[in-house]
Amino acid sequence: MDKANTSSQRPAVSPATRWYAASVFPGKESIAEWHLQRQGFHSFVPRYEKTTRHARRLETRSAAYFPGYMFVALDVTLQRWRSVNGTLGVRSLVMQRDRPLPVPSGLVERFIALTGKDGLLDFRGGLAAGASVKIVSGPFAEMIGRLDRLDPAGRARVLVAIMNGEVPVDLDARDLVAIA
């Protein structure tokens, strides 16, 4: 299954088509996405590069930004949306009474706009020198620091507070997310 699925492009939509959230089984986002695409539905799973540590090894892989959830474009008046609930990997659409609950307009479109050619979210637009950032990937994952500089090639220097001082760390800007 292709992790950078082509279904993330904006589908040809009718005026009544909206994006809906679907709850999926843990770690089954790719399977659900593939089966929905086979049924003719357009889906989108925002992904980022996640680094995990295990047994003194670092492993970097693509992971869902919202684990256990994905988005499906539907026109509930024309499409058989109930079949989404029976799709392999999908638990159910997020519902309000007996109808699927649409996500706020523009939310999924914004995530699609922030998705790079590699299929991963790219939040670099909010990075500026002096900003507080969270490192999301690499050996310093989950640490908070202050962005010292950002060059046009995508390299960043972050000052990370370690042992009562700030230690400069050079990273790829894709490994950073601006925080408030």
Q: What does the pLDDT look like over 9-19, one tens digit per residue? A: 444 556 789 99
More confident residue, 30 or 154: 30
- With beta carbons less than 8 A apart as the criterion, state whether 81 and 93 touch: yes
Spatial CB neighbours of 102, under 8 Å, sequence gap ≥ 6: 18, 19, 20
| Candidate from 3-7, 24-28, 93-97, 157-161 with smallest mean pLDDT | 3-7
**pLDDT for 7:** 45
| Residue 160 in tokens | 């990370």
- Rounded to an integer, the average pLDDT of 43-71 is 89
- With beta carbons less than 8 A apart as the criterion, state whether 119 and 7 touch: no
**pLDDT for 164:** 86
pLDDT score of 133 more than 80: yes
- Rounded to an integer, the average pLDDT of 110-120 is 85
**pLDDT for 114:** 82
Q: How many of the other CB atoms lie within 10 Å of CB of 39?
A: 13
Q: 71-92, pLDDT tens digit by residue?
A: 999 999 899 999 999 999 999 9
- With beta carbons less than 8 A apart as the criterion, state whether 115 and 122 touch: yes
| Candidate from 39-43, 62-66, 138-142 with smallest mean pLDDT | 138-142
What integer best gives the mean pLDDT of the chain? 86
